[in-house]
Structure 1
Amino acid sequence: MAASSSTAQALFAPPSLTPAFHLRSSSPNLPLLPRSATSLFTASSKLQISGSRRSVSYCIKASSDDTSETSEVGEVFSGLKEKWDALENKPMVAIYGGGAALGVWLSSTVVDAINGVPVIPKFLELVGLGYTGWFVYRYLLFKSTRKELADDIEALKKKIIGSE
């Protein structure tokens, strides 16, 4: 453990604070990375640890054999492709998607225009703070009103799902 902490100090400390390494053999036994961790690097890198008498260089070259990320992405795309192929009315879905994108752009433009007027954003902040205070007082402050809010949320869930 002492060798790894001194190695970390040698790598991340300024040269004036690095400890001196005294190595007796041509292949020093300094721990770098476990073999399983070398698959995280895709490019070759060079590590140099300099001591007072000797300079040691390691050339680390590793490749990634982990394909879990690409397989997950492939599963997502294959799932999306299956869902797209299962659709019967593809042009209508494209029209709805385009309409949604247009709506987001239009609302962003309107919000930017309102934000350009100097008084309106501060006024809307005050309205939002007032509504937040009222909501906390009305639904969150007391136990009976929290129960009422939970019942309202459950009723809305049942209405949306269609079990009511």
Structure 2
Amino acid sequence: MESKVQEQTTPKDLSSEAPGTLTKSSSMGDQPWQEWVAPVVDILAKVPEYVGEFFSEYKQPLTTVGLLLLAIISVKIIVAVLGAIDDIPLLAPLLEMVGLGYTAWFVWRYLWKASNRKELLAEFDAIKNQMFGDNA
């Protein structure tokens, strides 16, 4: 009878080493959800490593795909801006007139006479040498 009273007053969760401290229950590790949690935690812990390996292995194709997407997005933005400019009254015809005027000036200044064409070629060669060096 004395042992029965002692069992009732000493709960299983209390530590006998230090009064008032709880011990780990052995039944906590036997729960079925922990069988599924451990592999998921392991996989999630290795995700940065997997991503790093993937990017290091496929660096050039990913760069190419990224540049293609960037080019497509840039073209769409430019088309949208030009469409918005075209919707402004009198601005599109004004810009067309400016473009035609500059084209006429360029033809008159550089392409009309042979001496002016030689001058234009000399300017192109100077720019090419400045950019790529004298060996180009």
TM-score (norm 1): 0.42
Which structure features the higher share of helix residues?
2
TM-score (norm 2): 0.49
The structure, 1 or 2, with the larger RCO (C-alpha pairs under 8 Å, 6+ apart) is 1
Which structure features the higher share of strand residues?
1
